[in-house]
Amino acid sequence: MSALHPSDAIASVPPAARINATALYFPVLTISLVILNVFTFLYHYTGSTLFNVISNFVGISLLAFSLYVIVQHGEAARTAKNFLVVASVLITLSVLFNFAVASTTDAIKYLAIYILYAAGRSCGGTIRSVEVRCLYLLAALPLAFLAVGTSKPFAIESFASEVFAYFPNANTGVLYFSALLFAAAQRYGDKVILVQLINAVLMNRMGAVAATVVAVLTWIMFPLRLQSLVLMVLIGLGGAFAYSFGAFDRVITTIDNLSYVGSIDPRSVATMSYGQLVRLTGSTDLSSFFRLIHWTNIWDLYTNNGLLTLLFGYGAGQTALLTYSALVPHNDYLRILAEYGIFNLIVFVLFLLHVRSELTSGATKVLFLVLCIYFFSENLLDNFTSMALYFAYAGRVAALGRQPETESTEAETGAGPIGARRAPSPSLVRSPRNQP
């Protein structure tokens, strides 16, 4: 008897089961993220690694379900799946080349963004009430953590003073709430842009404010029109007002510190006291200075280790072990270049450009550009929940932009909020072939 080919097994799945799997994907996604974050909450509150193991298991299970949805959905989302295949090959090559040192966990977290986007792109559909409730729960969890305790695992780290709830710093927290707003944009529209600005201001993150303003400006300017010019003048006046109150002091300090970067050995910086660094730079704000020195060190490690390192990087998760400051990159573009190689960086940038081009609403374009800007200064790929929300919902928005919205997806599939009534007629159910 001949062996059963995988494609035959997929074809044997009843069409209704395939439709239900894709229709339920986003409820499963958001409920899984709530469960994952509850265990993350407990891990940071108690310090028990058991909760961390359970949280990681939930994340892996969600990725496995996402892959199932992608495989069984037929020919839909072809470009997204092509990106996933190419990224899988290149990441695997990097891990194999650096097999003795590469972190499989870090490699999976990076690959996850391609998986989640392809799954979201395969499913499409409109946002359901159960998802919105989960988004509110996800927003409440870190705020509740602030009220009840501090992170035990982070208490022993060098960045303990920067921790926000169970995030390593407030910048990561800002982007977590930005991801929630991105997911909610399908329900609340352009109002989430204003909430994003409030989010950045309340968290006292001028970088997030600047990234949001740049993203809004980009959205306004292209295509250029009379209203664009008027708004640009108003924003310019607002920028001048903000400058008078010192809003751009960190940017100015960063530019001033560029003159020191090429002339200082990272090893000497690692041994300097805080007072010595203040006298050297002329500023008490050393964050940008340390980033520039750290990035220079990473660049030197990447470029001075031969052709194979240029192609495949020096290994996922190795930056903190190889650099003098013993820190992660604080720049996800540089992280992918140095740890995975030049080809992975090219695919990553092309992927981000593709996702941005597929977004259809102003709110999603603005918030996704905020993410792309923030990739320059943070370690966002480490935050699984934020990446899951951004890329899965980006896939959904892209899918909706490619299908006529003559009927509600909830009505078509009969899989709206849990317990909702099914479609009155099977004739309203789309063929999987016609779903993007």
The DSSP result for 20-85, as a single string, is: HHHHTHHHHHHHHHHHHHHHHHHHHHH--HHHHHHHHHHHHHHHHHHHHHHHHTTTSSHHHHHHHH
- pLDDT higher than threshold 90 for residue 428: no
> Once rounded to an integer, what is the mean pLDDT over residues 265-285?
58
Q: Which residue has the tokens 């099914």?
A: 422
For residues 55 and 7, the answer to whether their CB atoms sit within 8 Å is no
DSSP 253: H
> Once rounded to an integer, what is the mean pLDDT over residues 48-73?
94
- pLDDT higher than threshold 50 for residue 407: no
pLDDT category of residue 285 using cuts at 50, 70 and 90: low
Average pLDDT, the chain: 81
Per-residue pLDDT reduced to its tens digit, 354-379: 999 999 888 999 999 999 998 988 88
> Once rounded to an integer, what is the mean pLDDT over residues 389-415?
67
Residue that wins the pLDDT comparison between 326 and 372: 372
- pLDDT higher than threshold 50 for residue 3: no
Stretch among 85-89, 96-100, 408-412 having the lowest mean pLDDT: 408-412
Per-residue pLDDT reduced to its tens digit, 221-271: 776 666 667 767 776 776 676 666 665 665 566 555 555 555 566 656 555
pLDDT at 430: 37
How many whole angstroms separate alpha carbon 309 and alpha carbon 286?
Answer: 31
> Once rounded to an integer, what is the mean pLDDT over residues 1-18?
48
Region at 224 (left for phi over 0; alpha for psi -120 to 50; beta for the rest)? beta
pLDDT category of residue 426 using cuts at 50, 70 and 90: very low
Stretch among 54-58, 65-69, 232-236, 261-265 having the lowest mean pLDDT: 261-265
Per-residue pLDDT reduced to its tens digit, 143-170: 999 999 889 998 887 777 788 999 988 8
pLDDT at 135: 97
How many whole angstroms separate alpha carbon 434 and alpha carbon 4?
Answer: 27
Residue 267, token pair as written in the block: 């090893």
How many whole angstroms separate alpha carbon 338 and alpha carbon 323?
Answer: 12
pLDDT at 410: 40
How many whole angstroms separate alpha carbon 371 and alpha carbon 211?
Answer: 8
pLDDT at 377: 84
- pLDDT higher than threshold 50 for residue 77: yes
- Percent with pLDDT over 90 in the chain: 51
Stretch among 46-50, 86-90, 102-106, 281-285 having the lowest mean pLDDT: 281-285
Of 283, 238, 219, 227, the residue nearest 257 (C-alpha): 283
pLDDT at 69: 92
For residues 302 and 314, the answer to whether their CB atoms sit within 8 Å is yes
Best mean pLDDT range from 4-8, 226-230, 358-362, 410-414: 358-362
pLDDT at 159: 73
